[in-house]
Amino acid sequence: MVRRDIDFDAEGVTLRGWFYTADDSSSPAPTIVMAHGFSAVKEMYLDKYAETFAAAGFNALVFDNRNFGASDGEPRQEIDPWAQVRDYRHAITYATTLAEVDGGRIGVWGSSYSGGHVLVVAAIDRRVKAVVSQVPLVSGHDNFRALVRADFIDGFRALFDADRLSRYEGKEPGMVPVVDKDPLAPSALPTPDSYTWFTKTHDLRASSWRNEVTLRSVELFTEYEPVAYVPYISPTPLLLMPAQNDVLTPTDLAIAAFQKAREPKKLQILPGGHFDAYVDGFDASGPAARDWFLQHLGG
């Protein structure tokens, strides 16, 4: 396996990441395009997935989302889900220009927020020939209400409105922590396991991660509905992998979304909670994704 740094243009914004060349494979090879979830950067275990794919005969193209990590983009720490969807498509286009890539065998992998993105991308971009969506965000409307107490929602709306006025007046965007030790304090991802995983992973392997996003990122999250695109993924093969006890992107929402998908599709329940897929549960999540791509893209 060989990994090299890459950069490519996404409508005037330079995105940066890694390209893993498939092991023991004559070019061109099938290729998996990958990015991380809400505020996360590629060092937060995406290398483990890419290495697993490369060992099975796939190239892997891993990139940081715009405004985060090594990628350019302003305002920093702002998450626009539709811009991230378009950037997956820019990454696919870039991949097809590389000599190592078989442009007819492109897969997309996403997890958490990007698990929602790949559902949308697979539905609207027929260059995608297989998709793996891990612990996905499927409905911003429903997920927001699962995370935020009903009596707190009006307070968030007031913050969103005040931020819109502040931006209109030329001021800097309002910010909110991604996670907080106190799950009742204002944060984008108010669950104890979110705080533990992000802070621990930051300390272990991802120094570029920052514990803040713009308030607008949270507002855009509430408006984002990947589930609307799920029926249109077919005939692209879909593997959906919710976690058994996911309190961040609730398990029941993901399973309900899966029911809207048409064949070919497969549901695989991962052990543990939302973040276990990356570390303790990687032996369940990584090989399952690899095998889905082997089945539908070759290797």
The predicted-structure confidence for 21-56, as pLDDT tens digits, reads as follows 998 767 899 999 999 999 999 999 999 999 999 999
Alpha helices (runs of H) in the chain, residue ranges in sequence order: 46-55, 81-96, 113-124, 140-147, 150-168, 192-205, 215-222, 251-260, 282-297
Q: Per the domain annotation, does 102 fall within a domain?
A: yes
Which structural domain range is residue 114 located in?
2-146+225-297
DSSP state of 168: H
Q: Is residue 133 part of a domain?
A: yes
Assigned domain for 166 exists: no
- 178 part of a folded domain: no
Residue 56 domain-assigned (yes or no) = yes
Cα Rg of the chain (Å, integer): 18
- Do the domain assignments include residue 217? no
Residue 141 has pLDDT above 70, yes or no: yes
| Domain-located, residue 153 | no
**DSSP per residue, 77-99:** T---HHHHHHHHHHHHHHHHTST
- Residue 150's CB: how many other CB atoms inside 10 A? 7
pLDDT tens readout for residues 185-238: 889 999 999 999 999 999 999 999 999 999 999 999 999 999 999 999 999 999
Average pLDDT of span 257-281 = 97
What is the share, in percent, of the chain residues with pLDDT greater than 70? 99
CA distance 249 to 191: 10
CATH code, domain carrying 263: 3.40.50.1820
- Within-domain flag for 37: yes
- What pTM was computed for the model? 0.97
How many structural domains are present in the chain?
1
* Token code pair at residue 261: 């998908």
> Which whole-number Å values give the CA distances from 5 to 20, 21, 178, in the listed order?
9, 11, 27
Q: 88 pLDDT exceeds 70?
A: yes
